[in-house]
Amino acid sequence: MEPAIIVLGRFQPFHNGHAAMINGAMSYLGVGDSDLPLRICIGSSQAEQSLDNPWSAEEREQMIRVWLGDHDAEIVHVPDLGDPPNYVEHAEKFHGPPGLIFTTDEGTSSLYRKAGWFVVEGDLVQREDWQGWRIRATMQMLSTVTEEEAAIAALCVNMPESVVRLLFANGWQRRLFHMGTGGEPVG
């Protein structure tokens, strides 16, 4: 596997913060005249289904692909290691040798710098709103709403509409209802 511009995330679910980060990496590619490909890495690819990890790596890849549309990017799955000091060496087996990583996460930036990677730190946009746990909690609450278009409109504030519609088309948003304590349908 050749070096690439790497973007790494869990994408649980893919939200506007992820879209901003990948757009930043694509802009960097365009400005930098780089011939490196863009490689999106889905972390925690083997994680068991839970409230923190409700979607499989394959489902998250579908979310990314529906958002990407015609944009060209490779997507690879990277399982967890549970050993941060050795994570980059482990991840390289899945995403390839040192190239460049585009990230908005300080911990990721530090690990990859120590491993000799060139790191570009993008701006962290709307961090208070665009956090996976917050969006999952919102989705869990909305999973009881029977008026689908109202739930879609509420989620589109923090997620790309194409991804939200994919979730609803496949019934994936309701999965969170079944993982929680339940409740009465609303609306």
pLDDT at site 141: 85
Residues of the chain where predicted confidence (pLDDT) is lower than 70 = 31-34, 125-130, 180-187
**Structural domains of the chain ordered from first start:** 5-121 (3.40.50.620), 132-179 (no CATH)
The pair of three-digit structure tokens given for residue 86, joined into one six-digit string: 């050795």
Paired with 102 in beta bridges are 120
Q: Say whether pTM exceeds 0.85.
A: yes
Task: Determine if the peptide bond prior to 54 is cis (ω within 30°).
Answer: no
pLDDT at site 1: 87
> Which CB contacts under 8 angstroms, 24+ apart, belong to 49-56?
49/175, 49/179, 50/179, 51/136, 51/140, 51/176, 51/179, 51/180, 52/12, 52/133, 52/136, 53/10, 53/12, 54/12, 54/13, 54/136, 54/172, 54/175, 54/176, 54/179, 55/12, 55/13, 55/172, 55/175
pLDDT at site 123: 77
pLDDT at site 187: 45
pLDDT at site 186: 46
Contact in structure between 52 and 19 (CB atoms under 8 Å): no
